[in-house]
Amino acid sequence: MAGPFALELGMFDPTFPGVTLHFPNEATWRKSQEVTDLTVRLLEEDARLKLPGASATGPTMALLLERFMGKVFANPGSPEEREAVGRQFIASDPENAVGNLAIASAFAHERRHFHDWLLSPYAAGINAMRSEIYANYSYLRFALRASGTTVIPVPLPRWLRKSPTEQQELVKMWQALLGDATPIRLPDLTRKDLLDNINTIARRYRSIGVLFEPVGFMGVDAAAIFEASALLIQIQNIHDLFGETASNLFGNAMANVPPPNRYGVFLKTMSGLAKPGEVLENNTLTAIATWCLLGNSTADNANAHPLLRFTHAVECVQARGLSSFDKPTAEIFDDLDRMSGVMPYRKLVKQSIKLGDEVVKMLNKAAMQDRSGSKFLLGIAQAQEYLHYWHTYMARRLLTDPDSYCQPAAYLDLSPGDLPEPPLRETFGRPFRFVERTALGGFSSVNLFEDASTPEQACLQQTIMQLPGGVVDLQIADNWQYLSQLADTLFAEYNRDKPEIEAEKVRALRSGLRYLEMLN
Amino acid sequence: MTDPVKLMIKINGSPALIDDLANVAQANASDIQIESVGPAEEASHLRLGLTDVSTMIAIVNGVAALAQFALTIYKHLKDKKSEQLTVQTPLRTVIIVASDAVSPERIQELLEDSARV
């Protein structure tokens, strides 16, 4: 059987405040369309038969959208009816059933990432660091392009670690590659203030990168806990759409993928802790995963890392048994706080809001004092203020009603507007997705593969759509994406294969600047 | 005749694929010089997959030498021994996935695309 994530479409990318689906090639996109069509067809047939008020020609698109993204996120049929839809779904392609279920529920998975990212004080700390990086970059950006720079070696910190001889060798190789028509003129990086600034940015990126570094015996990174939270919601979503057989099939497949893998480690560890007869309650597991995401690097650095909090949680469950945590979310959080001796979650969350207020104030002040005439710093301040607004909203919401966030069925049943709905970004790795130019107005924002496009046909590289109930300001989202893409391309030493870095290289080339990748 | 332009290339993929590519490089040492082979040191989106990720960095003598790798990559993807790999050159990154394995020529085309100026 193909791996469940042979088609890994969804990825949460904190450089875009929304849900991202990436299609590396045409076959992947077609497969995704096929599964979406099948899901819609099965639900449509089901809705025509079961839903009162559905017209003879089938439900409207609005009804389908409501089902997928709106109030219910579920098939409103009885358990037996859901089961029947699920069995048909599996039977349509048994060999790839798990992968197809993953595709059908990818949006719910990524949507939870978006909400966790807004809620988590650990993630909010990373966003604040990112804003600081962008502010530092604002003082560098003119210097990097002064004196007719044609080439910038990226990531810059890696370039600066090379000896002068190594740098010369690389330039020689690059010049041969580019040909004499493109003379290589590098930025002058000899000024101490520039070097200090780059080093400060590099340090911040190293702190952010801790999230992606494998920790301890498990060989997985902190993102495994974010994945656990999203996976638990995804399993519930599959249950609500396709019934119990489908959700069990998917859940078991994910828990039994051999290590190291981010997706199953939480489930596998927790199931290993269950005593005979103990049931793994989705509500309890989701509450534990959420608690692991509430660390705050500023308030309680020693206990901030999500994987460290996970090891605390494992010790607590070992000591008391999993079933003793089957209780309301706030009580689970209190028990975990008390038993592991970490700062109480209410305090962590409140401190995070307070710190965020200060960061926003500082950035706004810097933007006000900026006399350069550029709006670059103002854009950073606005983006940070916006993200902090939603962090505050999510954090306060968790404090007043933790159950509806940590109990997956309740979370998926929340009314539109109760949680911020993310915009949907689709990115295409290659030029294969053509649409009539007249259809471009249907998207909120579009980037094209210009070379592959014609006067009639537009070749999509990226589209952004506001979904029903969407609240994220797309101008702010665009600013954040632009800043992240630019800074990551120049400075980040991890995730260098992400499509956004490639897109930034293409964008820069249009203005006559080449980013040349340092491969080691 | 002028010497072909040397090109640095980095391939991230499953350890089995990287091992096989390293063998190909060793068998074609006049065209491909290995700089390093081993577990991926930097975090990568490939890690979102379900297996370990290894990396090979090599210097190839001219874009045409990339053809040496095409058949091996094609076989791995075709036989589902690997789902995905990324190929990076100083110029660009190309992600190759299993459904690209329609022919060795197609894989070669994608490899050469990674070095398109």
Contacts A–B by Cβ distance under 8 A: 106
Specify the DSSP class assigned to residue A470: B
Mean pLDDT of A281-287: 96
Q: Which of A121-130, A242-251, A423-432, B27-36 shows the lowest mean pLDDT across its residues?
A: A423-432
Extract the tokens encoding A174.
């690059």
Residue B1 located in a structural domain: no
Whether B99 and A27 lie within 8 Å, measured CB to CB: yes
Specify the DSSP class assigned to residue A161: T
Report the amino acid identity of residue A250. F
Whether B45 and A495 lie within 8 Å, measured CB to CB: yes
Q: Which of A10-19, A231-240, A390-399, A507-516 shows the lowest mean pLDDT across its residues?
A: A10-19
Say which of B9, B42, B95 has its CB closest to residue A493.
B42
Whether B43 and A8 lie within 8 Å, measured CB to CB: no
For chain B, say whether A321 makes contact (Cβ under 8 Å): no
pLDDT band at B73 (very low <50, low <70, confident <90, very high): very high
* pLDDT score, position A45: 67
Residue of chain B minimizing CA distance to A500 = B93
Segments forming the whole domain that contains residue B19: 6-113
At residue A427, the 3 state secondary structure works out as strand
User: What region, left, alpha or beta, does residue A162 occupy, with left being phi > 0 and alpha being psi -120 to 50 degrees?
Assistant: beta
Picking from B6, B55, B95 by the largest number of A CB atoms within 10 A of its own CB, the best residue to mutate is B95
Whether A261 and B35 lie within 8 Å, measured CB to CB: no
At residue A23, the 3 state secondary structure works out as strand
Residue B59 located in a structural domain: yes
Maximum mean pLDDT: which of A70-74, A409-413, B48-52: A409-413
Which contiguous run of DSSP H or E holds residue A264?
none
Whether B5 and A6 lie within 8 Å, measured CB to CB: no
Report the amino acid identity of residue A38. L
Mean pLDDT of B107-112: 95
Whether B45 and A177 lie within 8 Å, measured CB to CB: no
Q: What residues contact residue A268 under an 8 Å CB cut-off, 6+ apart?
A: A255, A256, A259
pLDDT digits (tens, 9 = 90+) for A437-474: 999 988 888 999 988 999 999 999 999 988 777 888 89
Which domain CATH number covers B77?
A: 3.30.70
Specify the DSSP class assigned to residue A147: G
Residue B58 located in a structural domain: yes
- pLDDT at position A67 over 80: no
Say which of B84, B88, B97 has its CB closest to residue A519.
B88
Q: What is the pTM of this model?
A: 0.88
Could you give the number of structural domains in chain B?
Answer: 1
* pLDDT score, position A6: 47
Say which of A209, A497, A499 has its CB closest to residue B88.
A497
Q: How far is A98 from chain B (nearest CA, A)?
A: 14
Residue B27 located in a structural domain: yes
Residue B55 located in a structural domain: yes
Chain A contact set for B44 (CB, 8 A): 494-497
ipTM summary value: 0.91
Q: How far is B87 from chain A (nearest CA, A)?
A: 9
Whether A502 and B47 lie within 8 Å, measured CB to CB: no
- pLDDT at position A247 over 70: yes
Chain B contact set for A260 (CB, 8 A): 52
Asked if residue A500 lies in contact with residue A484, where contact means CB atoms within 8 angstroms, the answer is: yes
Separation between Cα atoms, residue A503 and residue A510, nearest integer Å:
11
Cα within 13 Å of Cα(A218), Cβ side: 23
- pLDDT at position A55 over 50: no
Whose CA is closest to A336, among A278, A287, A372? A287
Mean pLDDT of B18-27: 96
Mean pLDDT of B99-116: 93
Mean pLDDT of A175-187: 92
Task: Give percent above pLDDT 70 in chain A.
Answer: 89
* pLDDT score, position A465: 87
Separation between Cα atoms, residue A463 and residue A446, nearest integer Å:
5
DSSP string, A275-339: PTT----HHHHHHHHHHHTT--TTT-GGG-SHHHHHHHHHHHHHHH-GGGG-S-HHHHHHHHHHH
Residue B108 located in a structural domain: yes
CB count in 10 Å sphere of residue A320: 12
Whether A502 and B52 lie within 8 Å, measured CB to CB: no
Cα B58–chain centre separation: 9
- pLDDT at position A7 over 80: no
Separation between Cα atoms, residue B92 and residue A376, nearest integer Å:
27
Q: What residues contact residue B7 under an 8 Å CB cut-off, 6+ apart?
A: A173, A177, B59, B60, B62, B63, B89, B90, B115
* Interface residues of chain B, partner chain A, Cβ below 8 Å: 5-10, 12, 35-36, 42-52, 57, 80, 83-84, 86, 88-93, 95, 97-100, 115, 117
Whether B115 and A177 lie within 8 Å, measured CB to CB: yes
More confident residue, A399 or A100: A399
Whether A8 and B117 lie within 8 Å, measured CB to CB: no
At residue A1, the 3 state secondary structure works out as coil
Whether B8 and A502 lie within 8 Å, measured CB to CB: no
DSSP string, A352-398: HHHHHHHHHHHHHHHHHH--SS--HHHHHHHHHHHHHHHHHHHHHHH
Which contiguous run of DSSP H or E holds residue A63?
helix A61-69
Q: How far is A6 from chain B (nearest CA, A)?
A: 6
Whether B9 and A519 lie within 8 Å, measured CB to CB: yes
Chain B contact set for A5 (CB, 8 A): 48-50
Asked if residue A464 lies in contact with residue A423, where contact means CB atoms within 8 angstroms, the answer is: yes
Whether A221 and B35 lie within 8 Å, measured CB to CB: no
Task: Give percent above pLDDT 90 in chain A.
Answer: 57
Kindly report the average pLDDT of chain B as a whole number: 87
Q: For chain B, give the secondary structure using H, E and C.
A: CCCCCEEEEEEEECHHHHHHHHHHHHHCCCCEEEEEEEECCCCCHHHHCCCCCEEEEEEEECHHHHHHHHHHHHHHHHCCCCCEEEEECCCCEEEEEHHHCCCHHHHHHHHHHCCCC
Say which of A24, A262, A263 has its CB closest to residue B97.
A24
Separation between Cα atoms, residue A364 and residue B15, nearest integer Å:
48
- pLDDT at position A1 over 50: no
Chain A contact set for B46 (CB, 8 A): 497
DSSP string, A202-261: HHHHHHHHGGGS-BGGGTB-THHHHHHHHHHHHHHHHHHHHHHHHHHHHHHHHHTSPSS-
Bridge partner residues of A152 (DSSP): A515
Whether A28 and B86 lie within 8 Å, measured CB to CB: no
Chain A contact set for B8 (CB, 8 A): 173, 519-520
* pLDDT score, position A386: 94
